[in-house]
Structure 1
Amino acid sequence: MDHTLDLTQDAAALTARLVDIASESGREKALADAVEQALRGLPHLTVDRDGDAVVARTRLGRPERVVLAGHIDTVPIADNVPSRLDSDGVLWGCGTSDMKSGVAVQLRIAAEVTSPNRDLTYVFYDHEEVAAELNGLGRLVRNHPDWLAGDFAVLLEPTDARVEGGCQGTLRARVETSGRRAHSARSWLGENAIHRAAPILSRLAEYQPRRVDIDGLTYREGLNAVRIEGGHAGNVIPDHCAVTVNFRFAPDRSEEQALAHVREVFEGFDVVLTDSAPGALPGLSHPAAVAFVAAIGGAPAPKDAWTDVARFSALGVPAVNYGPGDPKLAHTREEHVAVASVLEAEQKLRDWLTG
């Protein structure tokens, strides 16, 4: 099957083309090949590849370098490929919002902006929608951090075309209780570990999360139970129970500080860390960020989620989220994006990089 990309198409038409090249996580090779082939045809770019991640860069000697990044994979298709354009100018299909419209904007800028006012790095990476250890951007951080060097980064995740600064950190931990197993007919001979979890739930119900102002953005924290495990059979007093909690923390906390806070909340219980990722400060005071916000317009908002901007932040590169599409539509069967939103994002990025 011919997967050639025509970068002379506008970003909306290119989005449809990208959607029609299926690229569920772990099956990105065909699209990565198409992206690489299209970029290697642009003489003003140098192109490198690691697995199914493709990185292209200008080398114009500008005093500032900006990274534009986006993942090429999607969640599993839900009978929503091939793409469909309706009469109202809405494009439907898997990945239209998250985030092939953002990838299409990147490709259009890469093809059309041959002499930008800043040097540019374009990053197209795999495995974003699955386990963090498989993430292609994380692999680039480990294998080729020099490919990602820059002064400022824009992750073209869907944001409804507004700038969202930084991101929350996220931590998951198991808060565990123990007891003594017994027959439920003689429950007084045992100690019920599930009952002992009641104070854990009470502390969660009474928890008052912080609101933190950073660079004019208000980040809201949250600490919630997301899973409870316990019990052996319908006639057994359980001797173990674990409540999995998810702490979404503001980016002024480190992962270590976040874990210390969770352990403080659940003092007296065993707390076992199972997963953690740092947040990212918004970095909106950086001159490139100031210019970007001015070019896009509107008031920036905090990113109430974790995104890969955190990986750039860990490299010392301030980063924001900005892209066409409604994030609430991500991963849904009804995923779609307005053509006008895609074209607007393309034009605003072009104006910022050429003005």
Structure 2
Amino acid sequence: MPQLDLTATSADLTRAVCDIPSVSDDETLLADAIEKAVRASAHLEVLRDGDVIVARTNGGKPQRVVIAGHIDTVPINGNVPTRNIEIDGEPYIWGRGTVDMKSGLAVQLKLAAELSDPRVDITWMWYDHEEVDAARNGLNRLSQSRPDLFAGDFAILGEPSNGAVEGGCNGTMRAVVRTHGVRAHSARAWVGENAIHGAAPVLARLAEYRPREVEVEGLVYREGLNAVRITGGVAGNVIPDLCEVEVNYRFAPNRSVEQAAGHLRTVFEGFEIEITDAAAGARPGLDAPLAQEFLAAVNAVAQPKYGWTDVARFSALGIPAVNYGPGDPLLAHHDEERVPIAQIEAVEKGLRAWLSPS
């Protein structure tokens, strides 16, 4: 079994956890290594649920923080093992998972082992299946089977944020807009009705759509509504009787899932629409005292998170949560995924400064 040395630098630990392949559905080897490494710390109570590892301090502190990160990656494409590179004289670690989100995971593992008496009690959560459908998400599963483990006053998710603090997140919704027609031979098209042609107004509405910019608790979230897939057609000589346009709606956290669905039905009024997937966003929650202390400790001004992350799961449980991790989100899932070592070190320094006793 691979070994993890939690006394190594956070950069070296990043390479170690990245070099244990853990594509979704294949996280067990990394979960085993994490469990073995953190069980060596006497100050941590360690629990395991499937491939979710929970390690927590129980120092009787008046406040508790939950710090979480996922251990899986999207599929490897020739970018493991990792390697050290330089770009314009700046050192980076290159390879799958360096951004999303094993550099953040490495920082968390190192601090979990070293902070034996933090200023607040800490629940560390490392979970599987984040990169696939929500029904298999380890954090989602644990929140339903062991909600008691989520007790806390504030939460941090180590998703890549360029070392900045990103509050809350947009919600996300997928829907299918359908147009119907009548099949006919393409040589006698006038006999039928072309469903693909009928989708032209749907695409026109999308092209003309202007997304909102919405201020929520001092952060401005930008929405988005886009076609992400279009399907239709029967054969090369048949007028199609069905066309489906799949759309993705990213909505500000001041809208509920129900309100977002109502907005889509208004936009596509007159067309058949089916909501196929939805996840609520998360308000920033930056007015929480611990959040303010955290921002001050890491010397950060919060920014909005445009994508959806698991901070929404904490928000749904009434726990204010932010994203804070090394790595450029634009390089997540990229074949040239890479993280600046300086960002890894800065995030470790920021978290250590906030969590260490004064």
TM-score (norm 2): 0.96
Query: Which residue in 2 is equivalent to 1:285?
Result: 287
CA distance in 2, matches of 1:22, 1:224: 33
Q: In structure 2, the residue corresponding to 1:194 is in which secondary structure?
A: helix
Please state whether the residue corresponding to 1:86 is helix, strand or coil: strand
1:225 matched residue in structure 2: 227
Structure 2 gap ranges (5+)? none
Match of 2:314 in 1: 312
Structure 2 residue identity aligned to 1:320: V
Aligned equivalents of 1:86 and 1:68: distance in 2? 29
Matched, 1:173 2:175: yes
Output the aligned Cα RMSD: 1.2
Question: Within the alignment, does 1:10 sit opposite 2:9 as a pair?
Answer: yes
Letter in structure 1 aligned against 2:298: I
Query: What's the secondary structure of 1:262's corresponding residue?
Result: helix
* Corresponding residue for residue 63 of structure 1: 62
- In structure 2, distance between residues paired with 1:300 and 1:52: 32
Secondary structure of 1:349's aligned partner: helix
Q: Does 1:161 align with 2:160?
A: no
Alpha-carbon contact 2:298-2:353 (below 8 Å) kept: no
Aligned letter for 2:72?
D
Once the two structures are superposed, the pairs formed by residues 117-128 of structure 1 within 5 Å of their partners are: 117-128=119-130
Distance, in Å, in 2 between the alignment partners of 1:161 and 1:332 is: 18
Q: What residue identity is the alignment partner of 2:141?
A: R
Q: Which among 229, 234, 237 is matched to residue 235 of structure 1?
A: 237
Q: Which residue of 202, 215, 218 corresponds with 2:217?
A: 215
| Structure 1, gaps ≥5 residues long | none
Following the alignment from structure 1 to structure 2, what is the Cα–Cα distance between the partners of residues 171 and 337?
30
Q: Distance in 1 between matches of 2:251 and 2:193?
A: 34
1:324 to 306, 317, 326: 326
Output the amino acid matched with 2:4: L
The answer to whether residue 85 in structure 2 is matched with residue 83 in structure 1 is no
- Give, in angstroms, the shift of residue 89 of structure 1: 2.5
User: Which residue number corresponds to residue 43 of structure 1?
Assistant: 42
**C-alpha distance in 2 between matches for 1:106 and 1:27:** 21
Look up the SS of the partner of 2:231 in the other structure.
Answer: strand
Report the CA distance between 1:36 and its aligned residue: 0.7
Tell me what 1:248 maps to: 250
- Report whether the alignment pairs 1:151 with 2:150: no
How far apart in 1 are the matches of 2:152 and 2:284? 16
After the TM superposition, which of the residue ranges 49-58 and 19-28 deviates more from structure 2?
A: 19-28
| Secondary structure class of the residue paired with 2:105 | helix
Identity %: 61
1:342 aligned residue? 344
What CA distance in whole angstroms lies between the structure 1 residues aligned with 2:317 and 2:324? 19
Q: Does 1:93 align with 2:92?
A: no
- Letter of the 2:237 partner, please give it: N
The residue type paired with residue 344 of structure 1 is A
Q: Measure the CA separation in 2 of the matches of 1:92 and 1:192.
A: 49
1:274 equivalent to 2:276? Answer yes
* Alpha-carbon distance between aligned partners in 2 of 1:244 and 1:324, rounded to the nearest angstrom: 32
| TM-score, length-scaled by structure 1 | 0.97
1:76-101 Cα offsets, whole Å, 9 max, x none, are 12222222123643212211111111
1-side partners of 2:256 and 2:155: how far apart?
21
Instruction: Answer yes or no: is the 8 Å Cα contact 2:178–2:272 preserved in 1.
Output: yes
Displacement, 1:298? 3.0
Give the whole-Å Cα distance in 2 for the aligned partners of 1:85 and 1:205.
Answer: 43
